[in-house]
Amino acid sequence: MKLFADTADLTELKELKELGLVNGVTTNPQIISHSGKNLLKILGSIVDLLPNLPVVGMVVATDTKTMIKEARMINSIGPNMIIKLPATIEATKAIPVLAEENIKVCSTCIVTAAQAVLAAKAGAAYTALFTGQLDIIGYKGVDTLRDIVNIYGHFNLKTQVIAASVKKPQDIVDYALVGAHIITIPYQVFMDAFSRALPLTQYFVDTFYRDWEKAGCYITDETISLGKKDEEDLNKILA
């Protein structure tokens, strides 16, 4: 299972990189709009920061021909680019054309398992199920995610499903439990997963340190070699 970062913000990506938590990056036009105006430049900066990781950029055209043109432009940024196309009929026509050119496509804004099956059969390398958004409109997104994982697994399809629109830390657990290949997570949810649980974790850490200090324990390189007293004690035991 891989964790992608659902953000184009370089400060957020730098921190997640430091934490060792980014296996890839997803963006969409809305996410890009929070970081600037020039799509190729923003995606280029992400690739500079994370040169060996998959980075997903989305086309904005609505007709097949222009989508293909934009997909080629985005793909030219680097060898690990993935092109997001919406799960529309026009966009699906672009998938086999791009797949033929070895351009990896992620079919996005998916809300049903049927859409995910069609996208995979058309040649999409990834499908992004809007799992969290399904919950918001009153469905159980995780059920659809499980169906997609099972169908892809049943037929050994190479397409990987990305559980997207993650809203809270528990979503990560629920999506991992049904076998999501990738979960793409906004920065804030990564941070919530740490910070919301932190007071209790901190309580245990404080307890450890309090007892350690009370007993006068210490840590130093010298503890590696036996002190005189330790040596005497050891000799008594061995005698």
The tally of CA atoms less than 13 A away on the side-chain side of residue 200 is 4
Residues of this chain, 36-95, that bind ligand E4P according to CB under 6 A: none
The tokens describing 139, both together, are 């469905």
Q: What is the smallest separation between the CB atom of 197 and ligand E4P, expressed in angstroms?
A: 23
193, 158 in Cβ contact below 8 A? no
Among positions 28, 115, 127, 144, the unique one binding ligand E4P when judged by CB under 6 A: 28
| Cα(8)–Cα(136) distance, integer angstroms | 24
Long-range contacts of 102-105 (CB under 8 A, 24+ apart): 103/71, 103/72, 103/75, 104/54, 105/71
Stretch that binds ligand E4P, among 113-121, 126-134, 169-177, 209-217 (CB under 6 A): 126-134
Stretch that binds ligand E4P, among 44-52, 111-119, 130-138, 217-225 (CB under 6 A): 130-138
The nearer residue to ligand E4P, 80 or 133, going by C-beta atoms, is 133
Residues of this chain, 131-160, that bind ligand E4P according to CB under 6 A: 132-133
| Cα(31)–Cα(68) distance, integer angstroms | 21
Catalytic residue among 2, 14, 84, 167: 84
The nearer residue to ligand E4P, 140 or 210, going by C-beta atoms, is 140
Of 85, 34, 92, give the one whose Cα is nearest residue 60.
85
Among positions 64, 92, 144, 184, the unique one binding ligand E4P when judged by CB under 6 A: 184
How many amino acids of this chain bind ligand E4P (CB under 6 A)?
Answer: 12
Residue partners of 62: CB distance under 8 A and separation at least 6 = 88, 90
Stretch that binds ligand E4P, among 42-50, 70-78, 113-121, 128-136 (CB under 6 A): 128-136
The tokens describing 226, both together, are 């036996």
Q: What is the smallest separation between the CB atom of 106 and ligand E4P, expressed in angstroms?
A: 7
Residue 60 Ramachandran class (φ > 0 left, ψ -120 to 50 alpha, else beta):
alpha
Q: What is the smallest separation between the CB atom of 120 and ligand E4P, expressed in angstroms?
A: 16
Among positions 128, 148, 178, 182, the unique one binding ligand E4P when judged by CB under 6 A: 128
170-175-177-179 Cα dihedral, nearest 10 degrees: -160
191, 168 in Cβ contact below 8 A? no
Among positions 164, 178, 182, 193, the unique one binding ligand E4P when judged by CB under 6 A: 164
| Cα(88)–Cα(62) distance, integer angstroms | 9
Answer yes or no: 84 catalytic: yes
Residues designated as active site: 84
Which residues contact ligand E4P (rule: CB under 6 A)? 6, 26, 28, 31, 108, 128, 130, 132-133, 164-165, 184
